[in-house]
Amino acid sequence: MVKKDIVLIGSSSEIAIEFIKTCSENSENVITISRSNNRETQGNQHLKINEYFSDYEDIKNLIKKLDNPVLIFFNGFLAENRDLYSPTNDEIVKTDEINFTIPYMLSQKLNSELNNVSKYVFISTMAAIKPRYKNYIYGLTKRKLEESVKYINLPSLLIIRFGKVKTKMSKNHSDPPFTLSSKDAASSLYKKLDSDGIKYPHFGLFFIANLIKLLPVVILKKIKT
C-alpha cells in the first residue's frame, strides 16, 4: 500500500485505537478527529471537536490541507441485544445519528466541497445484510449508510463488514463464529485499505454473509448468536 495521510473520524472507538497503533507500526501519518482528548485516541495530529456539525469547518479545513487523504469513519453505537435488552427512545435516536447521520452527512459535505480526498472508508457490520430481531435497528442504520453513500459519487469507496468485534459495546453479546478482537479487526482493516466495494475481514464471514442473504427472515429470528 502506498503510504498516505489517513484521517480517522470517530477515533475514540476501540477499533480506531488499535488501528492507530497498527498505522504507527507501519509509519503511516495518522490524523485523528473525535470528541475525546485522551492520548490513546490521537494520531500524529489530532482535532478535538465538541460536535461534528457545529465544528464542520474545522474538520474541513484540516482535511483540505492534506495530500490525497484516506478518510475512515469509525462512528458506531450499539444499544440493542434482544431478548436481553431493547433500546430506549433516546438510544434509538442516538443509534441513527451516530451510525448513519454523522458519517453520511460528513462524507456528503466533504465530497461536495473538497477534491483532495482519495478514498472514503466506512465501518459496517454483518447486521446490515438482513435485519433480524436481535439488533434490527442497529443493522438498519448501517444498511442505510451503506446504501446511501453509494449515491454521492465518492472518488473511491470501501465498506468493511465486521461480525462481532470484542469491545465494550458488544461485551454482553455472545461470540458467533469468526469473532475478532479489536486488534485483529484493526489489522484486517489496514490490510484492506487498497480494496474497493464491500469487503469482509476474512473468507469465513464472506461465506456466512452469502448464506444469510439466502435465509428467510423467519429463520434469522431464531438464530441467537
CA atoms in the 13 A half-sphere facing the CB of 38:
11
In the predicted model, what is the mean pLDDT of the chain?
90
Q: Where are the domains of the chain?
A: 5-220
Position 124 pLDDT exceeds 90:
yes
Residue 216 has a pLDDT of: 67
How far is Cα 51 from Cα 101, in angstroms, rounded to an integer?
A: 13
More confident position, 128 or 206 = 128
**CATH classification (class only), 5-220:** alpha beta
Distances (CA, A) of 165 to 13, 17, 169, 179, 225: 12, 13, 9, 6, 13
CA angle 161/81/13 to nearest 5° reads 50
With H, G, I as helix, E, B as strand and everything else as coil, classify residue 212.
helix
The identity of residue 75, as a single letter, is N
Predicted confidence (pLDDT) at residue 225 exceeds the cutoff of 60 = no
